Amino acid sequence: MPLSEHEQRLLEQLEQQLHAEDPKFASSLASDPARSFSTRHMVIGSLIAIAGILVLLMGVAWQIIPLGVVGFVIMGGGVYFATLRSGPPRTGATGGAAGGGRPKSSFMSNLENRWDERRRDQ
């Protein structure tokens, strides 16, 4: 169902206000989540995983169990490193503001006011 002209104008105003209030957050919402995987991490992690596989195979070939276990751990560490996401960790939906006692931004206050107005109009 398409948005009405009034709803489109409100959405544009909200977007502009979000960009004005918190441009970093607005750009993080607009970015592609798959982009947060680092190519550097993927390459280094893959090389570590390959080295771990080689150590694991050497442990199996020489029948040295601890060497095989070390190779497996190295391989797992490489895979873990390859799948790390770059950038700061994301907070929950509340943004960490629930327990911090931080005052609400004017953007959130405006959203709540508009929501209350809509509820009263209906």
Q: How many helices (H) and strands (E) does the chain have?
A: 6, 0
Q: Is the pLDDT of residue 90 over 60?
A: no
* 9-56 pLDDT, tens digit each: 888 888 888 888 887 777 766 655 555 678 888 999 999 999 999 999
- On whether residue 104 sits in a domain, the answer given is no
In the chain, % of residues over pLDDT 90: 33
- In a 13 Å sphere around the CA of 34, the CA atoms on its Cβ side amount to 0
CA–CA distance, 23 with 115 (Å, rounded to integer): 23
Q: How high is the pLDDT of residue 56?
A: 96
Domain count, the chain: 1
CA–CA distance, 103 with 95 (Å, rounded to integer): 12
In the chain, % of residues over pLDDT 70: 75
- On whether residue 76 sits in a domain, the answer given is yes
| Chain mean pLDDT for the chain | 79
Provide the residue range defining the domain that includes 80: 39-84
Q: Where are the alpha helices (DSSP H) in 62-96?
A: 65-82
Q: Is the pLDDT of residue 92 over 80?
A: no
The three-class DSSP label of residue 37 is strand
- On whether residue 64 sits in a domain, the answer given is yes
